[in-house]
Amino acid sequence: MIKTAILVDGAFYRKRAFTLLGDKSPAERAKELSSYCHRHIIEEKEGASLYRVFYYDCPPSTKNVYHPLLKRSIDLGKTNDYVWAVEFFKELKHQRKFALRLGRLAEEQAYFNIKPQIMRKLLSGTISVEQLTEKDFSLFISQKGVDMRIGVDISSLAYKKQVERIILVSGDSDFVPAAKQARREGIDFILDPMRSPVKDDLYEHIDGIRTKAPKLT
């Protein structure tokens, strides 16, 4: 049996799951993620055992952020997104063999901006500024400490020989140094990009790509 740890880049998974599997309640999304990870184990032909699922994300923000269209501040702590995220993290804590690794949001840099696809319509003249609605804007807020925690855990799992295989659910090439270290320690390092494009530099430092994500129809 191949002892396997699954590391999930939470923000990446939530975005891809929404695209591929649709909108779901916090409880449904948490059970879906648990099932998704366990499929990597039960469908392994060589035989595998799950060491643990490590989930990396940030608690939602409670900051007041100015909205340029509404011309007033939005209390993020009173939004539906905040309520959903809090309940989702609560549900994840009840999933078997799940460990949450939470960083923090760079709240001081948070802002609302026009979505890229809407901006293209504005620039092409398809729509006018007067036609913009609140839904045409999205909140931009970066994470701090998440990538570092993923890298540290990859290195720790490898050096301590706690697992034989690491499956990383992500599409980010920032983890290349940690992946290289793990492979030097003899770890079978698998990437699950959930059918998102993979950069060439990441291909060079992994042992394979496997995904349980459905194809877009």
Euclidean distance between CA atoms 162 and 156, whole angstroms: 8
pLDDT 10s digits, 43-83 = 988 899 999 999 999 999 999 999 999 999 999 999 999 99
Count how many domains the chain has: 1
Nearest to 9 by CA among 169, 198, 143: 169
Entry pTM: 0.92
pLDDT 10s digits, 90-105 = 999 999 999 999 999 9
Residue 201 lies in a domain: yes
Residue 67 lies in a domain: yes
Residue 217 lies in a domain: no
Question: Coil, helix or strand for 113?
Answer: strand
Strand 137-140 with 143-144, pairing: unpaired
Q: State the residue range of the domain holding 37.
A: 2-209
Euclidean distance between CA atoms 136 and 114, whole angstroms: 6
Residue 216 lies in a domain: no
Torsion of the alpha carbons at 195, 141, 117 and 209, rounded to the nearest 10:
-10
Which ranges in the chain belong to alpha helices (H)?
A: 10-21, 26-42, 80-92, 116-124, 146-159, 176-184, 200-203
Local confidence band at 131 (pLDDT 50, 70, 90 cut-offs)? very high
Nearest to 52 by CA among 102, 101, 96: 96
CATH code for the domain of 190: 3.40.50.1010
Local confidence band at 194 (pLDDT 50, 70, 90 cut-offs)? very high
Residue 132 lies in a domain: yes
End-to-end CA distance of the chain: 35
Euclidean distance between CA atoms 158 and 148, whole angstroms: 16
